[in-house]
Amino acid sequence: MSRIAVKPTLQPELFVYSFPVRVYFENTDAGGVVYHGEYFKFLERARTEWLRAKGYDQHELAQRHGVVFVVRSISLEFLRPARIDEELGATVTLAAIDAATIEVVQRIERGGECLLTAEVKLACVKIAAFQPARIPRELRDVIVG
């Protein structure tokens, strides 16, 4: 199965999933600025809810298909700080998909201003051995749309 690069040209906003995030005290350092490691949590929540919005949750994938998605690689670029009590949006945009991997581009935004960009490669693995596995066909079809 070949790699499908997804490059929406008409109404690209329809291909973006956005998940709201509130910054709490626990997410910040002593100065009230979001600690860099917390962004990984925000991004993970958005990816999890993106899959849930597609009709799949992590538990179902594990129980029904015997697979889970793991982060194979992630690259972040920090552009601006987020602060305590701010409302942010964590977005997910499908960039590419092949037989066993999904690539997404993610952003953390505040009122339309981009604070962070991330390129994430997810690998589908069998739970039993953590070996690469094909993405279940029905899920792949839903993701590609």
The 10s digit of each residue's pLDDT in 96-145 is: 999 999 999 999 999 999 999 999 999 999 999 999 999 999 999 988 87
H/E stretch holding 44 reads: helix 38-53
Q: What's domain 4-144's superfamily in CATH?
A: Hotdog Thioesterase (3.10.129.10)
- pLDDT of 7 reads 52
Query: Chain centroid to CA 15: how far?
Result: 13
- Which positions are annotated as active-site residues? 29
CB 90 within 8 A of CB 108: yes
Q: Where are the domains of the chain?
A: 4-144
46-85 pLDDT tens trace: 999 999 999 998 898 999 999 999 999 999 999 999 999 9
For the chain, the farthest-separated pair of C-alpha atoms sits apart, in whole angstroms, at 49
